[in-house]
Chain A
């Protein structure tokens, strides 16, 4: 009984509603249909812009890091550094793009490194044993398919069990890795199939540095570009991509609105698995080495990179550009600190500090 509406009615509680109500209804109905929206108080300036585009913070960290490193060691500013950076960022970028999709959907995946390790080692070993001359494209597609299968297993489990994806993927990480080490092999080998070895050496672009070294931009960087474009397109231009964000916003609401959660779960984890499978194959051909103990253990670096790129761990946000920037930042720290004589053990300290800094900043921003 909220009397703010019609105080007149209350005075006639026990008598039938008289005509005064009718007239008041008409009055209400003839109200011009325009709302004055109370303009939501928008705090202008840096904070607001940061809230909308948290990747600017990542850009700032990258610039600061580059300036400091460059000031100490001017040799940092050359194309060779950029090539190195892109080279070493390729695998991580593929992982990170997958992680972005999972985080955007409100989940988390820690099994992608195990998927990559299993597909890369299993396929490399199989190809070497049975068909050493297999074309690289076929190997890559097989890796992608293998990744999709393992990822879809994750997706099915998450959807069926209604279990937190963290628990499920911790389980499958152990499972996939255990299968790899038990049934496929534990020794690393360097004589990888010829086509993989060859692909790792194809330069997209190269030049000779002042000290006569050959600086090479490897062709695998193309995979990074392609994966970034495809992921961006999927997330922003397809209903599936919108469904991913919808599910990340609220699982219950997305279901109520008619989004097919099963399809989204399968897509999210399948796609992440596919990127992981491709990343695994590229990793082998870039390093000319298939090591079953490789990759697993670097999940947190990847998740850290995506978070530094502005995605929220609670889901529903994150952009491809931000993710790539996050990867650049983490790779930068990992690869260039050596250039300025910082021991590599400090990498973790600095990455940790950056994450805390970013976390604090985003938290403060949300509070305001």
Chain B
């Protein structure tokens, strides 16, 4: 690092990139996460950072936002080199990160979340002082209006915990604007948004860009990246594979750059399911969420369920899992009527549920993979003194890791050390341990990279060949078309239509999804 040399460079304002990452290396115990990454970010440009889980994306973001120092290399912000940045220095330099969890304080008001951070950063983090509430409100109003939210006092006083997720997303962006950010990093901002909300977010991004703000956008959804436009940066194994205008790359090319292998959009589904009906759902109703839902699921069949966010698909999934049970209607498993009032009911009848929100609803993140795998069938591991048979637990976990190709050095590693796709496989593995009749997969590839998706799809197909009936609830249309036998379209809490997946084009399914007729 020759800081002296660089400091001679005249601080030209216009031509120089806002931020340069120069030869950055980062090692964690045993892992070389970044291997000499160099990037330049121009003002007013949108960049898409793409790569599989574990390629070094998150590490790069953390280094740029000052959460972690690089081992080697430096960051040059507006011509000034930094060997390392603190979080406050990054904020003061105008680098704002909208993390996937949004980093909003749920117990505080919208205004405070939007405007206090900039207040803190402009005063070097000093806490021993008062603040001007009128200035705070004015800053918040300006930033909120810039993202299209109301700036009035009523909305400003609302607590974050009372807001829906999409609005929180915009509040987090408003915070970046309030801090007069020059560089905004967004980590998978669209994962849980509806189409309309995504469109709005894209409009806000365009607005930011017009004001000369640089945006670094991290997403797994390639279609969105194309819709937004700008430059693409592909990372693989801690190295930059490509950088350039996104329109010059095809999706297949990008996938190949990310994974190093060629991916097709062929159907994974092959063969036919058995004729026996495993699950027969009749008049399934939970007032205000879904009503009169009826369908049959055959052994070894993969049944897709889709619909818009308010269609009741999520609620249906949770009802079948006994999490938020249906209030009327009946469910027959192998011809026998069963009650699904609690998650234990579902488990007892060998109905497995992999929730959409795996971090909060599914996994014990700080517990070993082994413990996560055995939780569903833990009672059958008891010996006669009620102790857990550790040898069998270990063997089972090792088997699951092997079966599902979970990439980990050992089953005693905590689940949070795994990438998203591997975490998802741990969850699926948990249910395989009870030898399920029915498996409900709710958004199994949300936030999962292309390579992991491929593995999860193959696992799904293998499971169906074992005769397990699978219900796949998803809003990823290619995923449904590639994997299912039939697809149910839900609208306003009812099953509006049923399609055969092999006789349907994506465009047709897309139009069916958006059409208002219910």
Interface residues of A (CB under 8 A from B): 1-7, 9-11, 13-17, 21-22, 24-25, 28-29, 31-38, 40, 42, 237-240, 242-243, 245-246, 248-250, 253-260, 263-264, 267, 315-317
Q: Chain B residues near A22 (CB, 8 Å)?
A: 229, 247
A40 touches B223 (CB 8 A): no
A263 to chain B, nearest CB (A): 6
User: Given A3-B478, A5-B198, A28-B203, is A239 in contact with B119 using a C-beta cutoff of 8 Å?
Assistant: yes
Partner of A3 from B107, B202, B477 at Cβ < 8 Å? B477
A2 to chain B, nearest CB (A): 5
B86 to chain A, nearest CB (A): 9
Query: Is the interface on chain B under 10, 10 to 19, 20 to 34, or 35 or more residues?
Result: 35 or more
Which of B164-172, B366-374, B417-425 is the contact stretch? B164-172
- In the complex the two chains form, what is the Cα distance from A38 to B162 in whole Å? 12
A5 touches B195 (CB 8 A): yes
B130 touches A25 (CB 8 A): no
Closest partner residue, chain A, to B507 (CB atom): A7
A258 touches B88 (CB 8 A): yes
B164 to chain A, nearest CB (A): 5
Closest partner residue, chain B, to A40 (CB atom): B164
B476 touches A240 (CB 8 A): no
Partner of A239 from B130, B204, B478 at Cβ < 8 Å? B130
29 CB contacts below 8 A, A to B, read A1-B222, A1-B251, A2-B475, A4-B195, A4-B223, A5-B198, A6-B226, A14-B250, A16-B247, A17-B246, A24-B227, A25-B227, A35-B200, A37-B150, A238-B129, A239-B119, A239-B126, A242-B131, A246-B116, A253-B103, A255-B87, A256-B103, A257-B87, A258-B88, A258-B117, A258-B121, A259-B120, A267-B127, A316-B108
Partner of B116 from A5, A13, A31, A242 at Cβ < 8 Å? A242
Partner of B203 from A5, A31, A256, A315 at Cβ < 8 Å? A31
A6 to chain B, nearest CB (A): 5
Q: Chain A residues near B163 (CB, 8 Å)?
A: 40
B510 touches A260 (CB 8 A): no
Closest partner residue, chain B, to A14 (CB atom): B252
Q: Quick check: is B106 within 8 A (CB to CB) of the other chain?
A: yes
- Given A9-B251, A11-B507, output 5 extra A-B contacts at Cβ < 8 Å: A22-B229, A29-B203, A257-B87, A263-B127, A315-B107
User: Per-position contact with A for B70-102: 1 when CB-CB < 8 Å, else 0?
Assistant: 000000000000000001100100000001010
Closest partner residue, chain B, to A31 (CB atom): B203
Q: Quick check: is B344 within 8 A (CB to CB) of the other chain?
A: no
Count chain B CB atoms within 10 A of each CB in A40, A237, A249 and give the residue with the most: A249
Partner of A243 from B87, B127, B150, B265 at Cβ < 8 Å? B127
A66 to chain B, nearest CB (A): 32
Count chain A CB atoms within 10 A of each CB in B150, B227, B479, B513 and give the residue with the most: B227
Closest partner residue, chain B, to A255 (CB atom): B87
- In the complex the two chains form, what is the Cα distance from A258 to B124 in whole Å? 9
A90 to chain B, nearest CB (A): 28
B119 to chain A, nearest CB (A): 7
Closest partner residue, chain B, to A13 (CB atom): B251
B510 touches A239 (CB 8 A): no
Closest partner residue, chain B, to A4 (CB atom): B195
Closest partner residue, chain A, to B157 (CB atom): A52
- In the complex the two chains form, what is the Cα distance from A38 to B200 in whole Å? 13
B506 touches A257 (CB 8 A): no
- In the complex the two chains form, what is the Cα distance from A32 to B203 in whole Å? 8
- In the complex the two chains form, what is the Cα distance from A254 to B90 in whole Å? 15
Q: Chain B residues near A35 (CB, 8 Å)?
A: 147-149, 170, 200
Q: Quick check: is B105 within 8 A (CB to CB) of the other chain?
A: yes
B120 touches A16 (CB 8 A): no
User: Given A4-B477, A15-B250, A256-B67, is A28 in contact with B202 using a C-beta cutoff of 8 Å?
Assistant: yes
B245 to chain A, nearest CB (A): 10
A224 to chain B, nearest CB (A): 24
Partner of A37 from B167, B199, B227 at Cβ < 8 Å? B167
B226 touches A21 (CB 8 A): yes
B128 touches A245 (CB 8 A): no
Q: Chain B residues near A15 (CB, 8 Å)?
A: 250
Q: Quick check: is B342 within 8 A (CB to CB) of the other chain?
A: no
User: Given A1-B221, A35-B170, is A258 in contact with B149 using a C-beta cutoff of 8 Å?
Assistant: no
Q: Chain A residues near B333 (CB, 8 Å)?
A: none
B130 touches A249 (CB 8 A): no
- In the complex the two chains form, what is the Cα distance from A2 to B117 in whole Å? 34
B87 touches A28 (CB 8 A): no
- In the complex the two chains form, what is the Cα distance from A255 to B87 in whole Å? 9
Q: Chain A residues near B164 (CB, 8 Å)?
A: 38, 40
Interface pairs A-B: 4 shortest CB-CB: A316-B107, A249-B105, A35-B148, A5-B223
Q: Chain A residues near B105 (CB, 8 Å)?
A: 245-246, 249-250, 253-254, 257, 316
Q: Chain B residues near A264 (CB, 8 Å)?
A: 127
- In the complex the two chains form, what is the Cα distance from A29 to B46 in whole Å? 13
User: Per-position contact with A for B175-197: 1 when CB-CB < 8 Å, else 0?
Assistant: 00000000000000000000110
User: Per-position contact with A for B234-254: 1 when CB-CB < 8 Å, else 0?
Assistant: 000000000000111111100
- In the complex the two chains form, what is the Cα distance from A132 to B466 in whole Å? 89
- In the complex the two chains form, what is the Cα distance from A5 to B149 in whole Å? 23
Q: Chain B residues near A259 (CB, 8 Å)?
A: 120, 125, 127
User: Per-position contact with A for B294-329: 1 when CB-CB < 8 Å, else 0?
Assistant: 000000000000000000000000000000000000
Q: Quick check: is B228 within 8 A (CB to CB) of the other chain?
A: yes
B226 touches A3 (CB 8 A): no
Q: Chain B residues near A315 (CB, 8 Å)?
A: 107
User: Given A4-B510, A21-B226, is A31 in contact with B108 using a C-beta cutoff of 8 Å?
Assistant: no
Q: Chain A residues near B506 (CB, 8 Å)?
A: 3, 7, 10-11
B184 to chain A, nearest CB (A): 15
User: Given A4-B513, A260-B125, A263-B127, is A17 in contact with B148 using a C-beta cutoff of 8 Å?
Assistant: no
Closest partner residue, chain B, to A17 (CB atom): B247
Closest partner residue, chain A, to B513 (CB atom): A4
B250 touches A13 (CB 8 A): yes
- In the complex the two chains form, what is the Cα distance from A11 to B67 in whole Å? 41
A239 touches B224 (CB 8 A): no
A9 touches B119 (CB 8 A): no
- In the complex the two chains form, what is the Cα distance from A135 to B163 in whole Å? 55
A10 touches B131 (CB 8 A): no
Partner of B112 from A25, A242, A260 at Cβ < 8 Å? A242
Q: Chain B residues near A38 (CB, 8 Å)?
A: 164, 166-167
Partner of B248 from A6, A14, A16, A256 at Cβ < 8 Å? A16
B120 touches A2 (CB 8 A): no
Q: Quick check: is B404 within 8 A (CB to CB) of the other chain?
A: no
User: Given A13-B250, A258-B117, is A249 in contact with B510 using a C-beta cutoff of 8 Å?
Assistant: no
A235 to chain B, nearest CB (A): 12
B33 to chain A, nearest CB (A): 20
Q: Quick check: is B104 within 8 A (CB to CB) of the other chain?
A: yes
Q: Chain A residues near B123 (CB, 8 Å)?
A: 239
Partner of A28 from B149, B206, B450, B475 at Cβ < 8 Å? B206
Q: Quick check: is B379 within 8 A (CB to CB) of the other chain?
A: no
Q: Chain A residues near B507 (CB, 8 Å)?
A: 7, 10-11
B120 touches A258 (CB 8 A): yes
A5 touches B251 (CB 8 A): no
A9 touches B223 (CB 8 A): yes
Q: Quick check: is B7 within 8 A (CB to CB) of the other chain?
A: no
A4 touches B119 (CB 8 A): no
User: Given A2-B476, A5-B195, is A21 in contact with B227 using a C-beta cutoff of 8 Å?
Assistant: yes
A5 touches B221 (CB 8 A): yes
A106 to chain B, nearest CB (A): 9
B177 to chain A, nearest CB (A): 12
- In the complex the two chains form, what is the Cα distance from A246 to B131 in whole Å? 15
A28 to chain B, nearest CB (A): 5
- In the complex the two chains form, what is the Cα distance from A22 to B246 in whole Å? 11
Closest partner residue, chain A, to B147 (CB atom): A35
